[in-house]
Every structure is written in C-alpha cells, then in structure tokens.
C-alpha cells in the first residue's frame, strides 16, 4: 500500500531519484531545471505545491481505503461527501466550484461509482476520490431486483454509516446542487441529523425545525439529497434503519432511496435528535425554479440550490445555465480540477 503522507512542503518530493552525483556541475543544475519544467508540464500535479501521494500510479488508487481517504480529507472532524459516476463529472465540477467559493473544498471526498471517476478525480486532485466496491457497471446498473442491485441501492446509507463509524461528521450532497452561502452556518445546535424538505408548499420563515407531520397520504418528503450527520448513536441508528427499510422494500423503491429514508426518519423520530433545515435556505428545485415571487421575497436567504423537480441531464444543465448557476464554462479556474478535458 502506498503511503498516506501529509502534504510535503518540497516540490522535489515526487521524484525520489538522486541527482547528487551530477548536481555539482552548473550544467547539471540547468538540466535539472529543464527536467523539472518538463515534469511540471506533463505530470498531473501542476498548480499545486503539495504532493501528498508521490508514488501512486493511476490503478493503485484501487487500494485506497475509505478510512485513508476520510483521514486525508477530513478537516475539523468533518468530511463533505458526494457520490458520482463518470457522466456526472461536469456536475461534480460545477458543485465543487461553488463549494470552493465557500472555502470548504479541502474537505470534499468524492465517492466514485466507477473506476473511470476514481482515476480521473485522483489524477486531477490526488486523494479526493475513493471507490467502495462494488463499482457500478452496466450489469449492476440495470439488474433491478438482483442481490447485487440491493447492495448498490443501499450504498448511500451504508457509506454514510461507515464514515460515522470512523468518527467523522459527514455532510452528504447530491452534485446537482450549487452552494450560494456556507451551509455549515445553518447547522444550529448539536442535533444528530440535519435535512431538508422536498415539498414545494411554501412555509412561513419561522417554520418548525421538527420532522414535519406526514401529509394526507401518510408520508413525508424529506430529501435524501442533502444530509448532515454527527457521529452519534442517533445518527448511526438512523442510517441502520434506512438500510433495513431499503432491504425490506428493495423492489418497491426501484433504485430510489428517498422513501426508505423517510420511513427511517418516521421510525426513529423518538430516539434520534432530528433537525429540519430552513426552507428559505435550502429550497427544493420545485420551489426555487418555479416561483419567482417567492425567490424575490426570500432574497439573500438561499444557501444551497438543488436542481431537482426536472428530468434529464441536459435539462438540468440548461436550467442551471439560465439561472447563472452553471459555473464550469466561465469559472473553471476556481475548481480544484482546473478545466476538465
Ligand atoms: C411564527 O410566527 C407567527 C407570527 O409571528 C406565529 O404566530 C407563529 O406561532 C410562529 N411559528 C413558530 C413555529 O414559531
Ligand atoms: C409516522 O408515520 C405514521 C403513518 O403515516 C404517522 O401516523 C406518524 O405520526 C408518523 N410519526 C412521526 C413521528 O412522524
Ligand atoms: C409563489 O410565492 C408567493 C410568495 O411567497 C406565494 O404567495 C404564491 O402562492 C406562490 N405561488 C405558487 C404557485 O405556489
């Protein structure tokens, strides 16, 4: 296993060759300089003075464990997590630019759903992606109802539980989101789990932070898209119950883990300290993109925008574009990836 080093302050560290025998002559120093310029151009670490993973080749990231990755990315005991498959790299980059603007990008850990994503992210930004097997392949992706498929659907609560078991706070985000302000400022108190309501019905600004009551159909619509958890017994119980709910209803849910999350909240509400975040700060896309009057009324209060209540990859991209929230074309340099080719 390659070593998990903290950043090293020397730009020489990635090249373990010894030049001592030739460096006595000035001409060799020049040669050395040329070599470094060349390496600087051809190696993926350009732009960063830190080389935390000097010896990793692309495929060696296969052995990079969640424990190592969480340790590397956690700051102040917190990891920001998303899960991404290769086609969603542009959305990941867009979200990441917005996270960088709030100066929280160093805590980001990308859970790569396939090896292409694992290698690509770690090439551009070493140490910030991990793959927790099984990887997504076309077979698991399409084989609804198979045991392999259950493993895949329940991956979100499983991964979050693993990070909690390692002792970190975890902020989970879908990547069709854009941060406008720092969401950590909104995590009032010391509750186990923080989440947002996916309902479009407008609530008063001073709405309750309790789990909302079920609607006339007996269900709640808490979003599984953004969740903050502390490494407490309560948060762990919530994740375990979510996994059980998915296991019990794996066919009915057909790859959507949100109803099971809502049942888990319902079942654990008396044992877990839950906190519903403000609607004005974390509006569902069905409200933010549909009601201009409301957006004007709540101006300055929006913290994370979620591009949901719309179907299709290009429709999402187009809508972000129309609202000035597609940042990857004009602001690529603000991303830790730089420009994605
Ligand atoms: C919100 O404010 C209104 C009007 O000031 C008040 O009647 C209501 O009880 C408040 N609701 C909560 C949940 O505090
Ligand atoms: C859980 O769901 C049931 C059925 O909809 C409902 O009667 C009950 O009030 C819910 N409990 C909580 C804590 O929301
Ligand atoms: C849009 O928002 C305004 C202001 O909050 C509200 O009065 C109105 O009912 C909303 N419209 C719809 C269709 O929900």
Residue 329 lies in a domain: yes
User: Is the domain of 138 the same as that of 88?
Assistant: yes
Structural domain span for residue 43: 1-54
Task: Say if residue 321's pLDDT is above 90.
Answer: yes
User: Is the domain of 2 the same as that of 89?
Assistant: no
**Exposed e or buried b for every residue in 33-42, given b needs 16+ CB within 10 A?**
eeeeeeeeee
User: Is the domain of 296 the same as that of 188?
Assistant: yes
Domain boundary pick from 12, 29, 54: 54
Closest CA to 224 of 202, 203, 239: 239
181: left (phi over 0), alpha (psi -120 to 50) or beta: beta
Residue 126 lies in a domain: yes
User: Is the domain of 188 the same as that of 314?
Assistant: yes
Task: Say if residue 252's pLDDT is above 60.
Answer: no
**Exposed e or buried b for every residue in 202-227, given b needs 16+ CB within 10 A?**
beeeeeeeebbeeeeeeebbbbbbbb
Nearest residue by C-alpha to atom 4 in ligand 1: 206
Residue 11 lies in a domain: yes
Residue 341 lies in a domain: no
User: Is the domain of 126 the same as that of 7?
Assistant: no
In eight-state DSSP terms, residue 324 is: T
CB atoms within 10 A of CB 317: 17
Average pLDDT value for residue range 139-158: 63
pLDDT score at 193: 98
User: Is the domain of 77 the same as that of 178?
Assistant: yes
Task: Say if residue 128's pLDDT is above 50.
Answer: yes
- Ranges of beta strands (E only) in the chain are 78-84, 108-112, 129-130, 169-173, 177-179, 193-197, 222-229, 274-276, 304-306
Nearest residue by C-alpha to atom 5 in ligand 1: 206
User: Is the domain of 158 the same as that of 41?
Assistant: no
User: Is the domain of 212 the same as that of 317?
Assistant: yes
Q: How many domains, the chain?
A: 2
Contact present, 150 and 246 (Cβ < 8 Å): yes
Q: For residues 35 and 277, give the distance between their C-alpha atoms in angstroms, rounded to a whole number.
A: 53
Question: What's the 192 CA to ligand 2 centre distance in angstroms?
Answer: 19
User: Is the domain of 122 the same as that of 18?
Assistant: no
Which H/E stretch holds residue 215?
A: none
What ligand has the least distance to the C-alpha of 292?
3
Average pLDDT value for residue range 114-128: 96
pLDDT tens digits, one per residue of 62-119: 999 999 999 999 999 999 999 999 999 999 999 999 999 999 999 999 999 999 999 9
Contact present, 244 and 147 (Cβ < 8 Å): no
**Summary mean pLDDT of the chain:** 85
Average pLDDT value for residue range 238-257: 82
User: Is the domain of 313 the same as that of 234?
Assistant: yes
Atom index in ligand 1 nearest the CA of residue 204 equals 1
pLDDT score at 19: 34
Ligand 3 contact, 291 CB (< 6 A): yes
Q: For residues 327 and 330, give the distance between their C-alpha atoms in angstroms, rounded to a whole number.
A: 6
CATH code of the domain in which 272 resides: 3.90.550.10
Question: What's the 271 CA to ligand 2 centre distance in angstroms?
Answer: 14
Residue 339 lies in a domain: no
Domain boundary pick from 36, 54, 72: 54
Q: Which pLDDT band holds residue 32 (cuts at 50, 70, 90)? A: low
User: Is the domain of 101 the same as that of 181?
Assistant: yes
User: Is the domain of 135 the same as that of 172?
Assistant: yes
Ligand 2 contact, 214 CB (< 6 A): yes
């Amino acid at each position: 296993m390659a070593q998990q080093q903290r950043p090293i302050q020397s730009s020489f560290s990635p090249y373990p060759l010894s030049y001592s025998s030739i460096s006595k002559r000035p001409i060799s120093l020049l040669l050395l300089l040329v070599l470094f310029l060349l390496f600087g151009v051809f190696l993926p670490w350009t732009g960063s003075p830190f080389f935390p993973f000097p010896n990793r080749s692309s495929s060696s990231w296969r052995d990079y464990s969640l424990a190592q990755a969480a340790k590397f990315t956690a700051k102040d005991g917190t990891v920001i997590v998303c899960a991404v498959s290769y086609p969603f790299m542009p959305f990941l980059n867009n979200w990441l630019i917005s996270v960088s603007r709030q100066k929280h990008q160093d805590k980001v850990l990308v859970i790569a759903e396939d090896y292409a994503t694992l290698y690509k992210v770690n090439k551009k930004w070493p140490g910030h992606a991990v793959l927790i097997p099984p990887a997504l392949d076309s077979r698991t992706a399409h084989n609804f109802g198979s045991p392999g498929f259950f493993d895949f659907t329940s991956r979100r609560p499983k991964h979050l539980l693993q990070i909690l078991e390692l002792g970190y706070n975890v902020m989970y985000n879908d990547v069709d989101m854009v941060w406008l302000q720092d969401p950590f400022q909104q995590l009032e108190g010391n509750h186990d789990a923080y989440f947002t309501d996916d309902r479009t019905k407008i609530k008063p600004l001073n709405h309750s932070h309790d789990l909302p009551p079920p609607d006339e159909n007996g269900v709640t619509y808490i979003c599984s898209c953004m969740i903050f958890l502390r490494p407490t017994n309560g948060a762990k119980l919530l994740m375990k119950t979510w996994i059980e709910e998915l296991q019990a209803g794996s066919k009915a849910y057909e790859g959507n883990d949100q109803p099971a999350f809502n049942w888990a909240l319902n079942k654990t509400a008396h044992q877990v300290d839950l906190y519903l975040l403000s609607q004005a700060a974390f509006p569902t896309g069905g409200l933010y993109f549909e009601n201009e009057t409301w957006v004007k009324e709540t101006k300055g209060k929006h913290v994370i925008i979620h591009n949901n209540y719309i179907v299709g990859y290009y429709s999402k991209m187009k809508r972000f574009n129309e609202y000035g929230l597609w940042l990857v074309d004009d602001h690529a340099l603000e991303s830790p990836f730089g420009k994605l080719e």
